[in-house]
Amino acid sequence: MSGQALQHRFVADVLTNPVNAALLARWDDLAPTHSIRDYDLFSFDASGDADAERAVQARVEALTADLGVRVEAVNQARVHLWYEQDFGYPCMSPRPAPTRRAGRG
């Protein structure tokens, strides 16, 4: 599948969510950086390896350099290590995400 075809498929998939569609419709006249400091990509690597996180960030920067916006790769397993220093108050303790089996007996 070509890059353009992947882009069209991605946008179509995103727009199937009515909340996404409503938000994106309001941004038509705004620059991608209007009132937005950066965009975050979330992942979860329980190893907590800071070097691995830096490598992911470098890859994200290389892949998104032409977009004209800052994209940050955020390992959710490490957020509790820096959150309070950055924002001035502690974040909630990290908890594993519920699985599809959660709540099934």
Has residue 37 got a pLDDT over 50?
A: yes
With CA atoms as reference, report the closest residue to 76 among 52, 54, 43, 40.
Answer: 43
State in Å, rounded, how far the first CA of the chain is from the last one.
41
- Residue reference for tokens 């800071």: 50
Torsional class of 103: left (φ above 0), alpha (ψ -120 to 50), beta (otherwise) = left
Q: Check pLDDT > 80 for residue 104.
A: no
Arithmetic mean of pLDDT, 7-35: 78
Sketch the domain layout of the chain as residue ranges: 1-29, 31-93
- What is the per-residue pLDDT for 100? 58
Averaged over 34-40, what is the pLDDT? 79
The pLDDT value given to residue 105: 43
pLDDT per residue as tens digits for the range 47-96:
878 898 899 999 999 988 888 888 888 888 888 888 889 889 888 765 66
